[in-house]
Amino acid sequence: MKAVVDDKIPYIREAIEGVMDCVVYLPGNQISRSDLLDADVLIVRTRTRVDEALLEGTPVRFVATATIGFDHIDAAYLERKGITWTNCPGCNATSVAQYVKCSLLLLEREHGIRLSQTTLGIVGVGHVGSAVSEAVAPLVGRVLLNDPPRHLPATLAQLQQECDIITIHTPLTTEGHHPTYHLFDEAFFRGLPHPIVLLNAGRGEVVDNAALEQAIDSGMVRHAIIDTWEHEPNIRLSLLPKVYIATPHIAGYSADGKANASRMVMEALCKWMGRPMTATILPPEVDITGSDPLDLYNPLTDSERLKMAPQDFELQRGHYPIRREKGRA
């Protein structure tokens, strides 16, 4: 059997080469239908759009994305064609929680925001939002949870009126009862009763980036922390210098989260193949010790790198340095 694999998925090569007869590694944004004409398995990240145009007429029967999100997967088409597919729910939840927690600590240390006196709202309370809530609850005075599909009590209007900080962890949807596309638009920012901090580590298009820039200019957003952007990798360059922490969609890129994703992909693949999962997939250890979370990870390092070279957005994602959620014991 043959697999085509995004070449930026880490820690997976030894494991998948142990179960496949042939494995081809390609840049995710360059995988084409011609590459799949003799492939049985396709493993991608968000940069590959998996739909009829890519798969029709190929022998691919198993698709996995090593990500939580799957808006790049045409699930209806795959299911209609009988192609098994899977994503990796929760794989990088604690990584994103680390990103948010460390960003909040920087706000307190560098900008004097007294976290214990703030109300923080979380929009989207799935695997990631729940991990964020657990990580930040000890830091802030109050947490409001907004997730209409999960029937959580806080409305977006309540967050708009009561929160000092709002952090976004919802998927991108354009249809249904609760679409999230441009959920944070000009009308939302105009309706704020006081300036807020906005953090987006969910999906870029949930925030209208032009409206966000206007809100920063007007003072209604006092600080923005943006990891996911509209039109990646061609981000809004006029917005970039106005954002306090600006990173290239790497909030979930800890080595731990990446190893979790590769492990989940291999478990699903082995199950589909009807064979046991025997490979061990672990991230490398780091020597950092100590109790300060910012010693282990400081988001400003990633932010400085992006602000200096925004044209390297994809390069910085694809060659992200090893980051652990914990150091040696």
Bridge partners of 6, per DSSP, are: 26
Q: What whole-number distance in Å separates Cα of residue 98 and Cα of residue 191?
A: 30
**Among all residues, which ones are annotated catalytic?**
203, 232, 249
Edge-first strand order for the sheet with 245-246 is 142-146, 119-123, 165-168, 196-200, 221-226, 245-246
Helix, strand, coil share (%) of the chain residues, nearest 5: 40, 15, 45
Buried-state track 106-145, b at ≥16 Cβ within 10 A, e below 16: bbeeeeebebeebbbbbbbbbbbbbbbbebbeebbeebbb
Alpha carbon distance 141, 153 (integer Å)? 18
Q: What residues pair up with 64 in beta bridges, in sequence order?
A: 43, 86
- The 10 Å CB-count burial string (b at 16+, else e) for 52-73 is eebbeebebbbbbbbbbbbebb
Tally the residues of the chain. 329
> Is residue 153 classed exposed, middle or buried when 0-12, 13-18 and 19+ CB atoms within 10 A define those classes?
exposed
Q: At residue 196, what are phi and psi to the nearest 5 degrees?
A: -125, 170
CA atoms in the 13 A half-sphere facing the CB of 285: 5
Q: Are 62 and 40 in contact (CB under 8 A)?
A: yes
